[in-house]
Structure formats: C-alpha cells, structure tokens
C-alpha cells in the first residue's frame, strides 16, 4: 500500500494523513470549491478538486472519487467518518475497481446500517436488547398496540436513522399518534425511509460504547469503553475513557458482548458497538457504527494504540500483533467536540469568519484540528472545527487540564461549544461521575452560561483594576 486517498475533509482527513505519512504512505486529498485553501488540502502529498461546495456535488460523489483514485494509482481509500464511510455501495465499487476500502466489507455495513437487521443479526448471540418490536412498522394502529403492550414511556426510532433524527419519546398513549406521524415524516425527509421501530424507553441511561478491532485472521479485540452520555439533540459533545461507572467485571462483560456483535456480521477493521446502560447497570445493545468514530482519540490515549494504523494494517491483510491480554487501561482521557455552534441559542450553527483562532498547547493536550485563523466556516458541512482532547494520570487531572486548555483556546468571529464544555467540566454532576444522557436537560440553560460569563468578566475587571492601582504605587525615579 503505497498511496491512500482520504475521502473526507477537515480534522479527520488530516488525522488519517498523519498516520499514513508516519507509515511511509503517500496521501491524496479531495476537496470542494469552498475547501480549496483548507488545511487538509495543503497537508496532503497531492490534492484534487472534485466538485462544488454542497456535499452531494463533491464529497458524496463516490464514482468521481474512485475515478480520481484510479487516475492517481491509489491503492486504498480511507473514508474517515460521515460522508461515504458507511455507504455499502461505495465499498463495493472500491472492491470492483481493485481499490482497498479501509473499513469493513459491504455486507457488514449493510447489516449494521439498519437497526432492525442489526438486532436480527445479534439475536443468535444472546446479546441483551431493550424490549421492543422486531420489525419495521409504518401502520399507526399496529404500532399503537405494540407500544401499549411494551408499556409507556416508549421510544420511536427511524429504522434507517442516526444523529437523533426520526426519534421521539412518547410518555402516554394520548400523545402516541401525533409523535408517530412526526417521526415518520422526519425519517422520510432525512433518510427517504419512513419505517420506524418501537422500544421501551430507558429512563436514566448512560451511553457507553466499546471500540472493537478485527483482522481477517479471526482475531477480534475490544479496546475498552468510551462514555458518551453528555449530548445535545441526541448527539455527543463530550466523551471520555474509561467510564467512571464501569467495574472491571462489567467492562469485561460488555467488551465480550461487543466482540460477539462484531462476530455476528463477520466484521473487519475498526468499529464501535454502542450500548445503553441503565441505573441498575443492565446494558442493552443499541447499534454498531461500522467506521472510525469521532471520539477515537480518547481510546488511543488510554490504550497507547494508533487506531488508524491498525485500520491500515488490517486492510493490508496483516494479522493483529496485539492480544486482548496486552491491552491495559492507562490513565484517563477526555474529549470536547469544538463546534461552531451557539450554546446560548439552542446550539444552532454559528457561521462566520475566524478572526482569531489559536489552539492550546502543552503536555497532555491534543487538538485534532481542521481549521486555521482567517478561514470562513462553510455552511455546507458539519460545523465541527476541532476536537480538544486531554490526557492525565487520573480523571481529576484530565478534567483540570481540560478546563485550562479551554481557557487557552482563543476563538473570535464565531460562537463555539467551548463555554459549554467549561460548564460541563466544572459541574459537580460531571465531576462526581453521577450523570446520564439527560445532563443537558437537567442542568444546562443559556441563562446559567450568561451568568457565569458575566461573573468571569467582573472578576477579570477587578483583577485589572487592582493591577492598575499596584502599578500607580511604583515610584518612577527621574532620569
């Protein structure tokens, strides 16, 4: 494998290229018109324009990307996450054209891409699942009967869904019909598929995911868990490894369950098995993400591995050289997704110009970044600027380092999730480890953030005033 094309943009494109270059592999970037001066384009050995700004005219054009790859004698394509990373047809097209797709085989992507097919696949392995119906459903009356038999509250989920779209919590039978209609129309709009399934709503869940890695020689490893319970709009914003609530016994049990999920679809490469953990430490299979996750750095830091390197090695047909016994958790890692979003305005995207953009540096601080000062934030893509990651010997150390790193992360021109991150890491519920996926709903409000910002500004002004008076006391000797 001498040359890899990275079919992505931003921080993940650079992240993959860094490992490829470390391994002596040449890299090719693809870019849309709006990204022509982006850091990932400059970072690659070669770069090719593939279309206009909207992703369906550029980063989602699988055939165009494969054409570029063939013209440049590319051996493999790494899809990153998002865009084409979980597109089974793209994986097939790569295979047909003699290009290695750095990811699982297409059949695994297909099975795990449908929540219902995934549940069907893992059923034979006795993996715990949330009580619910085992078939996609669009008939409202039939769905209502199923919901009543499961017992309210229930969760309606789009079968082809993701990112919190087509998802509705229903507390009572009276609200069922209207919420079902909403979920179906949302699912049709987002995925072109209105089928949904219904399951029991777990009241105070934690979102725990297990990183797995599988080679083509029969080895499947689990690289422990990531805690992803701090979310807004059903999407993760803060992640950590390890979780503060898992015992070694529970960790082993969940890890072994994740390995069985990977086995159920003959998995290859890096994948993540997501579970819900209830207040009694019962865990339930949620879904499998058949790609590298946004939050993979926290796993890398606590295990001392390079997941992208392992992906590339597995894709080359190599056997994994580490064993389950070799893997140990060392230290603690946290990640904050730095989005160009306004936490004071319902986390809506905040587009604009990066007038100031300076990253924090120091021991235990890692920033996987895709932007630089002077750039505009395009409206066409996910608004994530970077991932701020800290690593410490203990959870407390990683938290303190994160707070300091947030304070040293300078951004002007757009609003970001940095103040929200600081709020989370300073909050007693987070620090104590006693939180769940309802953290934002329970503890956060824009008013609290505004109040905190006001207090900080007041303290800064008092310090400046004190310094001014101190300076006035200095006796200036005549020349």
Residues with catalytic annotation? 291
Token digits of residue 44: 């690659």
Q: Which residue has the tokens 């905190």?
A: 452
- What Cα–Cα distance (Å) separates residue 135 from each residue in 11, 114, 316, 417? 38, 11, 37, 38
Strand partners, 170: 154
C-alpha to C-alpha distance for 250 and 362, rounded to whole angstroms: 34
C-alpha to C-alpha distance for 26 and 261, rounded to whole angstroms: 34
Which residues, including other chains, have CB under 8 Å from residue 225's CB and lie 6 or more apart? 208, 209, 210, 211, 241, 242, 243, 246, 251, 254, 255
The H or E element that residue 271 is part of is: strand 269-277
Strand partners, 28: 5, 46
Contacts 24+ apart (CB under 8 A), 141-144: 143/176, 143/180, 143/196, 143/198, 144/173, 144/176, 144/177, 144/180
- The pairing of beta strand 348-349 with beta strand 356-358: unpaired
Instruction: Classify each residue of 161-178 as buried b or exposed e, where b means 16 or more C-beta atoms within 10 Å of its C-beta.
Output: bbeebbbbebeeeeebee
Instruction: Classify each residue of 361-389 as buried b or exposed e, where b means 16 or more C-beta atoms within 10 Å of its C-beta.
Output: eeebbbbbbbbeeebebbebbbbbbbbbb
Q: Count CB neighbours of 22 within 10 A.
A: 11
Instruction: Tell me the chain's radius of gyration from C-alpha atoms.
Output: 24
Contacts 24+ apart (CB under 8 A), 441-444: 444/420
Token digits of residue 222: 């689990």
């Amino acid at each position: 494998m001498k040359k890899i094309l990275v079919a992505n943009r931003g921080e993940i494109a650079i992240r993959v290229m860094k490992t490829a270059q470390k391994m002596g592999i040449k890299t090719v970037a693809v870019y849309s018109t709006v990204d022509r001066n982006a850091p990932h384009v400059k970072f690659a050995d070669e770069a090719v324009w593939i279309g206009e700004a909207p992703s369906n005219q550029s980063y989602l054009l699988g055939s165009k990307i494969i054409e570029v790859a063939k013209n440049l004698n590319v051996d493999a394509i790494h899809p990153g996450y998002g865009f084409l990373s979980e597109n089974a047809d793209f994986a097939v097209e790569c295979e047909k054209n003699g290009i290695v797709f750095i990811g699982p085989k297409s059949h695994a992507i297909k099975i795990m891409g449908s929540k219902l097919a995934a549940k069907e696949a893992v059923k034979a392995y006795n993996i715990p699942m949330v009580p619910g119906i085992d078939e996609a459903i669009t008939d409202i009356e039939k769905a209502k009967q199923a919901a009543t038999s499961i017992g309210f509250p229930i969760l309606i989920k789009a079968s082809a869904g993701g990112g919190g779209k087509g998802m509705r919590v229903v507390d009572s039978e009276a609200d069922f019909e209207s919420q079902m209609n909403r979920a179906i129309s949302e699912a049709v709009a987002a995925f072109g598929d209105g089928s949904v399934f219904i399951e029991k709503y777990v009241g105070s869940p934690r979102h725990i995911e297990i990183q797995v890695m599988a080679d083509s020689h029969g080895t499947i490893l689990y690289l422990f868990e990531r805690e992803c319970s701090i979310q807004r709009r059903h999407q993760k914003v803060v992640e950590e490894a390890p979780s503060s609530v898992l015992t070694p016994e529970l960790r082993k049990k969940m890890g072994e369950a994740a390995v069985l999920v990977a086995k159920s679809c003959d998995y290859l490469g890096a994948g993540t098995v997501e579970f819900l953990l209830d207040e009694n430490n019962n865990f339930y299979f949620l879904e499998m993400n058949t790609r590298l996750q946004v939050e993979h750095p926290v796993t890398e830091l606590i295990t001392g591995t390079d997941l992208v390197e392992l992906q590339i090695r597995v894709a080359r047909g190599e056997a994994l050289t580490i064993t389950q016994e070799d893997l140990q958790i060392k230290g603690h890692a946290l990640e904050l997704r730095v989005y160009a979003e306004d936490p004071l305005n319902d986390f809506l995207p905040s587009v604009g110009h990066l007038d100031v953009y300076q990253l924090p540096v120091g021991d235990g601080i890692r920033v996987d970044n895709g932007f630089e000062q002077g750039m505009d934030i395009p409206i066409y893509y996910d608004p994530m600027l970077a991932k701020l990651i800290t690593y410490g010997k203990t959870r407390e150390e990683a938290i303190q380092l994160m707070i300091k790193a947030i304070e040293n992360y300078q951004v002007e021109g757009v609003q970001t999730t940095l103040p929200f991150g600081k709020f989370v890491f300073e909050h007693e519920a987070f620090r104590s480890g006693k939180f769940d996926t309802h953290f934002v709903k329970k503890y956060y409000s824009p008013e609290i953030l505004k109040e905190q910002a006001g207090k900080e500004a007041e303290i800064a002004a008092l310090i400046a005033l004190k310094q001014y008076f101190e300076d006035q006391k200095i006796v200036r000797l005549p020349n």
